[in-house]
Amino acid sequence: MKNVGKTPATNVTIVDPIPVGTEFVSSVPLHNDTGTDGSLIWKFGSLAPNETKVISVNLKPVAQGEIGSVARMSFQAAATAKTVCTKPVLQITQRGPEKVLIGQNAQFQINVKNTGDGRAMNVSIQEIVPEGFAFADIRNDTLVYEIGNLAPQQSRNVNLTLRAVTPGKYACKIDARMGKTLASSKIHNIEIIAPVLAMKINGPERRYIQREAKYKIDLENTGTAVAQNVNMITYLPKGMRFISTNNRGQYVQRQHAVYWSIATLAPGNKGSVELRLMPVGTGQQEIRYEARSVLAKTELSKHKVLIDQLAELFFEVDDRDDPIEVNGETEYRVRVVNQGTKMATNVSVVAEMPAGINAFDGSGPTKPTIAGRMVSFAPIAQLAPEGVAIFKIQAKGVSDGDHKIRISLSSNERRESVAKEESTKVYSSQIR
């Protein structure tokens, strides 16, 4: 027996029946077993490739005739096959900035590599454009890059450019897939920074005409980036006249506006300016204001101011002769002026005479009424702005001493009367 194959033969068995007309004498090697029919059985186990086994059998003839030997061999041949199991492994590397200025482009370098020992088939990478970014003016869309097949240790690079649109913190997630199977993911955190300007006017919301109004204008960068080339602008209404400002503010008459410029304003920094205006027109007025920079702008805001007219009465009292003798006469002169911008109505003058001086007559825009120590002039219906009214009271001294006359003034615009006093000395010509 010879194994002419390339793999071992196992369970090799030889069966040789004893021929008819013979008797078994011996064998080399000796058989291992005997069959039910008396056959000789040799069991060799395995037979390696090219290995040879020889069996010698001695028989003794016991009858005349032909002696025939028919040996049968059986074995098992082991067929082997080796299969190597490989595994592709995708690794993503994403590089990009941690911060990007609004309006600028963020550049990302994406590398996908097969670090396994098997071939990666139908590789693609996907990225959902983060909410604050745009890709070619497309927002919130999924970008897909087809890579194809990657052999072990092979890699591909993809460059991605996204435009920063909305300030905030975002996560850029990249998925690598083999076919439809998710193989790897990578997240890159990035912040879109931007300047944010906040401008506010603080000052009176009501003013009288020709009464100066002072305003404080505040500006703050509440964003996360430096504001460059900042301009603050206030547009004045027709009813307000520019007087002055500080911090190098410039009044542009053609636009009836005031401008301030700041080279840079860092995040969290504040600035303020002062503005002085003169109301020259009545009614509801609006100061409009805004701030602008290279990458930021406020909404056009309004500060409403109600400009009203004011009737403001001023008066003074003097006496023509002072001192006077007992039974001597003097004249008190009350001069009333409307220093406001509004018509004063129902202007009333009342004089209270002291005990040592008696009033006996009076004159003025209206008739006086003398009742005891009180001298009351009929109210003036209207006194125009800058209008003047003069009231006169003739009086006689009746006893010596320093005596004070009290003049009270009121109007519809000022219900509470205002009083002033004038002192007159009365003396006696007789020495006691």
Count: domains in the chain? 4
Residue 2 lies in a domain: no
Residue 331 lies in a domain: yes
Same domain, 367 and 293: no
CA distance 179 to 161: 25
Residue 84 lies in a domain: no
- Label the pairing between strands 22-28 and 56-61: antiparallel
Q: Which helix (H) or strand (E) holds 149?
A: strand 142-150
> Could you tell me the strand order of the sheet in which 206-208 lies?
206-208, 301-308, 283-292, 227-235, 257-265, 250-252
CB 339, CB 400: distance < 8 Å: no
- Burial of 9 per CB tally in 10 Å (0-12, 13-18, 19+): buried
The last residue of a domain, from among 258, 287, 308: 308
Q: Which of 249, 300, 254, 301 is nearest to 277 (CA)?
A: 249
Look at residue 147 in the predicted model and tell me its pLDDT.
93
Same domain, 273 and 234: yes
pLDDT in tens, the chain (432 residues): 888 888 888 888 888 888 888 888 888 888 888 888 878 888 887 888 888 989 998 988 888 877 777 778 877 766 666 677 889 999 999 999 999 999 999 999 999 999 999 999 999 999 888 889 998 766 667 889 999 999 999 999 999 999 999 999 999 999 999 999 999 999 999 999 999 999 999 999 999 888 899 999 999 999 999 999 999 999 999 999 999 999 999 999 999 999 999 999 999 999 999 999 999 998 999 999 999 999 999 999 999 999 988 888 999 999 999 999 999 999 999 999 999 888 999 999 999 999 999 999 999 999 999 999 999 999 999 999 999 999 999 999 999 999 999 999 999 988 788 999 999 999 987 665
Residue owning tokens 């009351």 = 376
SS3 content of the chain, % helix, strand, coil (to 5): 0, 60, 40
- Label the pairing between strands 301-308 and 206-208: parallel
Look at residue 416 in the predicted model and tell me its pLDDT.
82
Look at residue 422 in the predicted model and tell me its pLDDT.
94
Residue 4 lies in a domain: no
CA distance 362 to 381: 19
CA distance 210 to 372: 42
Same domain, 264 and 351: no
Residue 157 lies in a domain: yes
Same domain, 207 and 189: no
Look at residue 328 in the predicted model and tell me its pLDDT.
93
Rounded CA Rg of the chain: 60
CA distance 198 to 296: 10
Residue 82 lies in a domain: no
Residue 118, phi-psi category: left (phi > 0), alpha (psi -120 to 50), beta (remainder): beta
Same domain, 142 and 167: yes
CB 245, CB 276: distance < 8 Å: yes
The last residue of a domain, from among 273, 308, 343: 308
Q: What is the CATH number of the domain that holds 399?
A: 2.60.40.10
Tokens read off for 185? 């993911």
CA distance 198 to 270: 9
CB 257, CB 155: distance < 8 Å: no
Same domain, 50 and 98: no
The DSSP secondary structure of 272-332, one letter per residue, reads: EEEEEEEE-S-EEEEEEEEEE-SS-B---EEEEEEEE----EEEEEEESS-SEETT-EEEE
Residue owning tokens 């007992």 = 326
Residue 400, phi-psi category: left (phi > 0), alpha (psi -120 to 50), beta (remainder): beta
CA distance 422 to 126: 96
Look at residue 384 in the predicted model and tell me its pLDDT.
94
This model's pTM is above 0.75: no
Same domain, 53 and 127: no
Residue 265 lies in a domain: yes
Helix (H, G, I), strand (E, B) or coil at 98: coil
Same domain, 182 and 206: no
Same domain, 360 and 409: yes
The last residue of a domain, from among 77, 100, 125: 77
User: Which residue type occupies 145?
Assistant: Y
Q: Phi, psi at residue 340, to the nearest 5°? A: -85, -165
Same domain, 319 and 416: yes
CB 131, CB 81: distance < 8 Å: no
Sign of CA dihedral 246, 252, 256, 259: negative
Same domain, 231 and 257: yes
Residue 106 lies in a domain: yes
User: Which residue type occupies 248?
Assistant: R
Same domain, 134 and 48: no
230: containing domain: 197-308
Q: How many CB atoms lie within 10 A of CB 340?
A: 22
